[in-house]
Chains A and B, each alone.
Chain A
């Protein structure tokens, strides 16, 4: 571990839907300029954790601190201004708008029109595919191209932290590699990436840290290679729980 302060900290966070509590005192310290992958069984609360961080779900107790400031229960707009973007699972585009206009909508949190136009140009230079298809309806893009559009749209705000939920779902192995390469590139440019992946092994291979969530609680927080080497992880993904470590053979 380096000595730097975590960029994002969750301290005993409780949140859920209606009567159900899904996050049961989740605690985490996310290092800056690193990729951290959150893994855990289906229904563990991984996506719920992102929604709570991004103000889409009320935090019932506990605190979320970003960049030294308590951001618990701030609305999405305030979090965008603070430097967080969230890319949910699935398709997150406006299918009937053009690629350019989809990108532009990533910049609504910026006030200056000229600045948005400048950043759209910059993002298009970085992803020439988007430039080529700028005036097509976004629905004409392939799944992988749509994911790249979503990431590019997030980058328009020059975020400090990117929350990205299962970007690899439904993508071809080649596209997955491309998307992961983009995430690595972001990290190398100082952006902090918090990633959720089913594809745990591959994700941990590009990550600096890993976080294992189960039943809304953090079971393990460690360097990625350490988690990859942990025999309990294999067991977790075979359906058992970490609660009974004695079952590990």
Chain B
């Protein structure tokens, strides 16, 4: 039982990180039909911004802010202006291919210009164990969980309690209608790219102390986010959160109780089960757009 709680909490922590990545992924898809195959690399990269800033002498907290700011510019603004806007004119497929190319570019750039070696990354809090319901849980897991929940809660509040947030949701739910009502659709789309940049940067800072910062980190993270988004129902922020959490928890539990050998196959099995039983995803709604 104790080890179950331990696994559950570390699973929730991993799942919460997946959720952050999947939410950004879903938002991009909803507002601009961008299936970002570089999303995993987007999570890998900000850790290196932070490390670079620390190499320049910045303390960790400042380096983290610099990392988020750099992500906003590079993974938010420039990604939209240089990759998405020009390619989307030619359709979704050219854009998909471009994001795949971008993922390779980011990976190789980090390898060539920073390091091919895994880099230690400072944790948000010193690692220690705390006792919770008779189980030993690492402070790391708790902090990761706390920060991820706070981030999602802040995003949720912003999306629902502000007019801008609701205009963004409207743009995600039906961009053609949003335009007809005079919502500045292009600005809302830009906001989603900026939101995604913040989400991946936070995910990067949360996950790198655990995985170490390495140029290959994006491979598994990107797949996990993709699967989480599909499980939850691609067109739903809530779905992406649920999908991420389910995936993280099952991932940890299956590795411990079944076999870590099959760990990699498990997310795919869930994915196939969901696609067969509920193709629109757990919380997804069947798309019907008339305009």
State whether the Cβ of B89 lies closer than 8 Å to any Cβ in chain A: no
* Binary per-residue interface labels of chain B (178-192) against chain A in the complex, 1 for a CB within 8 Å, 0 otherwise: 111111100000000
State whether the Cβ of A141 lies closer than 8 Å to any Cβ in chain B: no
Residues of A within 8 A of B182 (CB): 76-77, 80-81, 108-109
Number of interface residues, chain B, beta carbon within 8 A: 19
Number of interface residues, chain A, beta carbon within 8 A: 25
Smallest distance from the beta carbon of B156 to chain A beta carbons, Å? Answer: 13
CB of B179 within 8 A of CB of A94, answer: no
CB of B290 within 8 A of CB of A96, answer: no
State whether the Cβ of A90 lies closer than 8 Å to any Cβ in chain B: yes
A96–B173 Cα distance when bound, in Å, is 8
A217–B185 Cα distance when bound, in Å, is 33
State whether the Cβ of B119 lies closer than 8 Å to any Cβ in chain A: no
With A88-B291, A89-B290, A104-B163 as contacts: A94 and B169 at CB distance below 8 Å = yes
State whether the Cβ of A134 lies closer than 8 Å to any Cβ in chain B: no
State whether the Cβ of A92 lies closer than 8 Å to any Cβ in chain B: yes
CB of A92 within 8 A of CB of B169, answer: no
Smallest distance from the beta carbon of B237 to chain A beta carbons, Å? Answer: 9
State whether the Cβ of A105 lies closer than 8 Å to any Cβ in chain B: yes
CB of A105 within 8 A of CB of B290, answer: no
CB of A97 within 8 A of CB of B181, answer: no
- List residues 88-119 of chain A with CB under 8 A from any CB of chain B: 88-97, 101, 104-106, 108-109, 113
| Partner-B contacts on A (CB < 8 A) | 54, 56, 76-77, 80-81, 86, 88-97, 101, 104-106, 108-109, 113, 153
Closest 4 CB pairs of A and B: A90-B290, A109-B182, A77-B182, A80-B182
| Partner-A contacts on B (CB < 8 A) | 163, 166-167, 169-170, 173-174, 177-184, 285, 288, 290-291
A-B contact pairs, 30 of them (CB 8 A): A54-B180, A56-B179, A56-B180, A76-B179, A77-B182, A77-B184, A88-B177, A88-B180, A89-B290, A90-B290, A91-B288, A91-B290, A92-B174, A92-B180, A92-B290, A94-B170, A94-B173, A95-B173, A95-B285, A96-B173, A96-B285, A97-B166, A97-B173, A101-B166, A105-B183, A108-B182, A108-B183, A109-B181, A113-B163, A153-B181
